[in-house]
Amino acid sequence: MRIGLFDSGIGGLTVLAQLVKYTPEAEYFYVADTLNAPFGTKTQDQVLTISLKVISFLQKLGVDCVVTACNTADSSIRSARIDLQIPYFGILDFEIPEDMKKAAVIATKFTAESGVYSRILRSKGVEEVIEIPCQSFVKIVEEDLINSPMADEEIENCMSTIRNTDISNLILGCTHFPFLADRIKAHFPKLTLFDPAQSVAKKVSQKFVKTNDNQGKVNFYVTKDPSGFLAKIVKYQSLFSLPFTVQQIDLEDSQR
């Protein structure tokens, strides 16, 4: 089975980690569109255009399905209601525990402002939702500042509104944010953190018949700075523990 996935950078690794847990035998094709990163500060049109180019690249590689390992991209695709002509899973196809009645969501500027989480969570029976933009967390993760004073300051600055509520569930609405889970927990020990990737990865594994003919492997495709990306992959390799390659691609060329 060939699974395509994409993000603006290393955020999708947190989704890949969950996918590999359920479907270790698959061959993964992961596009990190580092040239267009970050996605979260862009407009609907910009994010959609980028996403469709990446999906078309993955389709040409012959993947069996596409997993959008990026809330921002999935949110733009959902708003556009496009039929992608390939089995498609978005990070927003998550399930929540039945007893979740109140939730805070931290996400990119784009995702938080789109209100997509409020709509989805309310349709699943959640009565109170607050969506908080935490765009600076993306840079903190990409630039390996997770254990820096800047991370502590930004967590306090961005998430302080949660302190005035009785909300105990925190949804990590950006795939970069699970990297910050321990730091967030240190500041907000009473919050239960929820990563949508787990239930999405389960859905992907249930959709396809297991085969033994594939050997787990990850092919990374990067649109800028492959060596910088490789260094990050090496650091987080234990998240997916499969052999991998990294190559640079030009998404414009691939559309021709």
Residues at the interface with ligand DGL (CB under 6 A): 7-8, 11, 37-40, 70-72, 108, 111, 138, 174-176
Question: What is the smallest separation between the CB atom of 76 and ligand DGL, expressed in angstroms?
Answer: 10
Question: What is the smallest separation between the CB atom of 239 and ligand DGL, expressed in angstroms?
Answer: 15
Question: What is the smallest separation between the CB atom of 234 and ligand DGL, expressed in angstroms?
Answer: 20
- Using only C-alpha atoms, the chain has a radius of gyration, in whole angstroms, of 17
Question: What is the smallest separation between the CB atom of 69 and ligand DGL, expressed in angstroms?
Answer: 7
Question: What is the smallest separation between the CB atom of 142 and ligand DGL, expressed in angstroms?
Answer: 8
Our CB check for ligand DGL shows the closer of 4 and 40 to be: 40
Q: Under a CB-based contact definition with an 8 Å cutoff, are residues 45 and 19 in contact?
A: no
Our CB check for ligand DGL shows the closer of 1 and 180 to be: 180
Cα–Cα distance for residue pair 12/180, rounded to 1 Å = 14
Our CB check for ligand DGL shows the closer of 39 and 188 to be: 39
- By DSSP bridging, strand 27-32 and strand 88-90 are unpaired
Our CB check for ligand DGL shows the closer of 1 and 183 to be: 183
Decide if 65 is catalytic: no
From the candidates 65, 70, 134, 158, give the one annotated as an active-site residue: 70
Our CB check for ligand DGL shows the closer of 23 and 111 to be: 111
Decide if 70 is catalytic: yes
Q: Which tokens go with 117? A: 């989480």
CA distances from 85 to 47, 56, 163 (A): 19, 10, 44
Give the sign of the dihedral formed by CA 197, CA 47, CA 238, CA 192.
Answer: negative
Catalytic residues: 70, 174
